Amino acid sequence: MQTAITAAELYSAEQRIENPVVIVEDGQIISVASPESCEIPVNARVLEFPDAVLVPGYIDLHIHGAAGYDVMEGSVSGLERMAAFLAERGVSAFLATTVTAELSHLEAAVAKIASQIEHWPADAPLARPIGIHLEGPCISELRRGVHPREHVCNPSIDLLDRMHRAANGTLKLITMAPELPGAMETIREAVARGIKVSIGHTDGTADDALRAIEAGATHVTHTFNAMRLMEHRAPGVLGVALSDDRVTAEIIADGVHVDPRVVEIFLRSKGAKLAVLVTDAISATGMPDGRYRLGEFEVTVAGPRALCDGRLAGSVLTLEQAVQNVTRFANWPLAQAVRLATANPARVLGDAKLGKCEPGARADITVLSRTGTVQQSFVGGIATRN
């Protein structure tokens, strides 16, 4: 059965349509047009949102948990609970993100997540885990953040093999410090296997970053956080992240990880096509203040801060909030802010079916108020419980 969704406006990448009519069938978008150029099929179900904006479903490339669930746990019911929470807040797809742990424990967690992805229900109103983001263990000891020092290690082809086998084809993104021994050959091998590499948790120099980009790295993990500070004679990885158009760069726009004025500087530097919003959210997201797990350690949450031994340990941010924050922090229009959570993360992954509302794309559609509040979500054309 076909469904026609109408609204006041539609934003998709650089496209903007007034009074759009979106026809959906079998989980795909069949057509997107104005009322003047589109005739709604006679037997179609019509869903009207006269004061709202249609945008592609949000994509979170960096999220450790939500709704009380940590992705390292490996529980099917827990991941489904997290996915329901995300869907109701506009997210249609996400990368389940790991945290550094003892290698056998990390390998087991990756295998569990991979199995969950492979058996994910196709017709459920849930955000989809579309792959794994391996954050650590190949990170800088100095810039590891809350990642446990004892499990940090250097990258190698053998370690890549081990995690790649455990992931069974679901490993989509790896965060790595480029200054570590073995990093360049591991980056090249990961890219050859179709895995995207992000520069992050690094004390590297600008030259380290440039070598990583030449080797195939295309992204930067939570810019400003867990990396060497930029100096006027030593720009470091941060200087390259802000200035090099060969890399996309993500930011946690919660006003806690990065000051709102610095978020604005970042957005001016990377622009509307290369900036990516992520949450770095943990299990406490959507939950009351208290104590929660992130991998193998405990995090204390009070208000917008998640701390472990006095250090920030992820966030309780949602992409819905992040998009709204961009409109406030940088005075960006909603149409431009939305791109940072839709088309741009899809670009990082190289997935042509995601992050846009156009014929042939997945029917992942989020309905927003004019101020960016999520009113309804569709994942594969199936409505969530908003």
Q: Which residues are catalytic?
A: 280
Where would I find the H helices in 26-169?
76-87, 103-118, 157-167
Strand partners, 3: 24, 45
Pairing assessment for the beta strands 196-199 and 219-220 based on DSSP bridges: parallel
DSSP code, position 76: H
Beta carbons of 372 and 322 less than 8 angstroms apart? no
DSSP assignments along 257-279, one per residue: SS-HHHHHHHHHHHHHHHEEE--
Closest by alpha carbon to 277, among 375, 367, 355? 355
DSSP code per residue over 157-224: HHHHHHHHHHHTT-EEEEEE-TTSTTHHHHHHHHHHTT-EEEE-SB---HHHHHHHHHHT--EESSTT
Q: What whole-number distance in Å separates Cα of residue 186 and Cα of residue 153? A: 13
- Residue 295: what residue type? G
DSSP state string for 308-323:
ETTEE--B---HHHHH
